[in-house]
Chain A
Amino acid sequence: MIATIPQSKTFKWTYRVYVTLFFIYLALPLTVVCAFAFNDSVFPSLPWEGFTWAWFFGDESPYIGVFNERSIIKSIGTSLFVAFWVSMLSIAVGTSNAFLFVRYDFKFKEFLYILMLLPLIIPGIILGISILVFSNTVANNLEDATGMWFDGLRPGLPLVILGQFSFIATFATLVISARLEKFDRSLEEAALNLGASKWGAVRQITLPFLMPAIAGAAVVAILMSFENFNTTLMLVGSDAPLTITMFDRLKQGSTPVLNAVSLLLIVVSALLGIASLLFQKKEG
């Protein structure tokens, strides 16, 4: 049960074996994905045909590596573009929300707070279709009324960004609020007392204090945006982010180039994940 309570050897070993098996289960899929990025074969499966870097750098068909595969490079660019804007929007709105919920009392505060949490429990695919339906209706009506085209309201990157933002903003709000709750108001009062303006005190004292949380939220937002699939799937237009491109490729049958992309994704996500943990530690 716990270290201080004697247990039979059999039990201890069974437990250890179970936990080990669990971690093998966790590691297995990612390990094979990474391993087959280096297999010198056009299918990501056994037998092992030897080690190659071709799926990263190759430029001769069928060995076209990630870095020479234009559609993948382009969708990585798209993903980065989406992630950047989602992250910026989320931390801006998240910071504003944090000040609102932590510093102010107003009517329906509780209600608005719960409403703010809702995107977390709405399935992503439904967030996607509701925004799709709504923007489409608005676009139709506007076009009927004005006779102009409103491409921004049709499936495409602006809608993808808004769709992802609609639930990632909740995460940002929670992370930044938690930090703001810990802020000692008397620091701000001291700044005011020393002659700072209201906004000056917030800018010079409070925002620097919030910085680790804001940076952490930005990293988490980028991660979530990068790997989002459900919401994106419903809102995507002709420019596909990476997950959508990979999904289409997977349905057609995979080549190790997908393993190579996945390996890059794993490395980058792990680095970003650790970065967000470091930001959290800094908050400490």
Chain B
Amino acid sequence: MTQAQSRLGLYLLMTPLMLWLLLLIIVPHIGMFLVSISVKTGVRQYVTGLGNYMVFFTEPLYWNTFARTAFMSIAATFLTLVVGFPVAYYIAKLTRGRTKTTLFLMCLIPFWVSELVRTFGWMILLRETGIFSSFLQYIGVLSGPVEFLYNDAAIMIGLVYTSMLFMVVPLVTTLDSLDDSYIEAAYDLGGNGISILREIIIPHAMPGIVSGCIVVFMLSLGNYLTPILLGGKDSLWFTGLIYSQFITRFNWELGSAFGFLLLGLSSAIVWAGLKLSRQSLTDTVGR
């Protein structure tokens, strides 16, 4: 292979990558940023300024929703970790062979199905005429139908459900790589369940915990379906605000500013997570 041929190959392979990244990722984001800093002064007349961002900070509804979205996403991430960890541990360390494969597959299958279908399932379960309400009336706990949908708990259940896979899979992978002899050695040296969990298992699983948490947080923050369908019209989710600015109000400038704020928050949390755990993006998402 001559030098010239090699360079030709390089350029040929580089072209689709550059087209993709430039036209679909970089330039659109720059464009969106430019739109977010243009303030409308008349029909198709704009000046550059931070007016849209000012609107965000001066209107309590906006930044309250922003803070609420962030807070709920952190809570959902934490809950997903707490719920998923024991299960991941069970699959990784307490089952073998066929059972392990089966349980792991059972975790995967729900997530091959569209998020819409999963959310629909929760709607059937939780709504006023739904299964829970009917069942509780049937066994006599409730005297009349109760609406379990359209509240924060419903959003939480849906978010945890939707994100579970992205927590369980990295956890199972890292826990699987923990050699049993470490646990045995710690036990042999006098450790008990709690100290081994704290000193051996969690430190070992840290990469999995971090990558799971980063992905779950991002997915929750950027989720639209679950909060809107399970939380109802007043779910106050930031992606809902972005949608309404773009589609209903047709205020793209403000919508772009919101989009940038969401992107900023998401990137900041990912960055902080990576820094805290001293990992690189390549290791975490580029598995």
Contacts and interface: CB of A to CB of B under 8 A. Distances in A.
B116 A273 contact: no
Given A113-B282, A233-B243, A100 B10 contact: yes
Contacts of B221: 123
A125 B239 contact: yes
Contacts, number: 242
B13 A174 contact: no
B184 to A, nearest CB: 6
Contact of A250 (B20, B120, B134): B120
B115 A229 contact: yes
B35 interface: yes
Nearest to A223: B112
A227 B285 contact: no
A145 interface: no
Interface stretch (A59-67, A70-78, A129-137, A208-216): A129-137
Interface string A106-136: 1000001111111111111111011111110
Given A4-B184, A22-B87, A27-B110, A258 B286 contact: no
Q: Tell me the dominant secondary structure on chain A's binding face.
A: helix
B52 interface: no
B124 A247 contact: no
B285 to A, nearest CB: 5
B161 A29 contact: yes
B255 interface: yes
B41 interface: no
B58 interface: no
Contacts of B117: 30, 33, 262, 265-266
A63 B186 CA distance: 63
B110 A123 contact: no
Interface stretch (B59-67, B146-154, B202-210, B262-270): B262-270
A4 B106 CA distance: 26
Interface string B169-206: 00000000000100110010000010010000000000
A165 B24 contact: yes
Given A133-B252, A269-B113, A45 B130 contact: yes
B50 interface: no
Given A45-B131, A104-B10, A198-B1, A243 B114 contact: yes
Contacts of A174: 286-287
Contact of B25 (A100, A118, A251): A118
A230 interface: yes
Contacts of B107: 26
Interface stretch (A49-57, A80-88, A91-99, A179-187): A91-99
Interface string B262-280: 1100110010000000000
A32 B110 CA distance: 13
A36 B221 CA distance: 31
Interface in A161-209: 162-163, 165-166, 169, 174, 198
Contacts of A92: 16
A138 to B, nearest CB: 9
Contact of B106 (A26, A131, A165, A229): A26
Count chain A CB atoms within 10 A of each CB in B29, B121, B247 and give the residue with the most: B121
B94 A2 contact: yes
Interface string A2-25: 111100000000010011001101
A112 B26 CA distance: 12
A1 B196 contact: yes
Interface of B: 1, 5, 9-10, 13-14, 16-17, 20-21, 24-29, 31-32, 35, 83, 86-87, 90, 93-94, 103, 105-110, 112-118, 120-125, 127, 129-131, 134, 161, 164, 180, 183-184, 187, 193, 196, 214, 218, 221-225, 229, 239, 242-243, 246-247, 252, 255-256, 259, 262-263, 266-267, 270, 281-282, 285-287
28 contacts: A15-B90, A18-B87, A45-B134, A46-B129, A96-B16, A112-B21, A115-B25, A118-B25, A120-B285, A121-B214, A121-B266, A121-B285, A122-B266, A123-B222, A125-B224, A125-B262, A126-B32, A126-B262, A129-B259, A131-B24, A133-B256, A134-B31, A163-B24, A169-B20, A227-B113, A229-B224, A230-B239, A273-B109
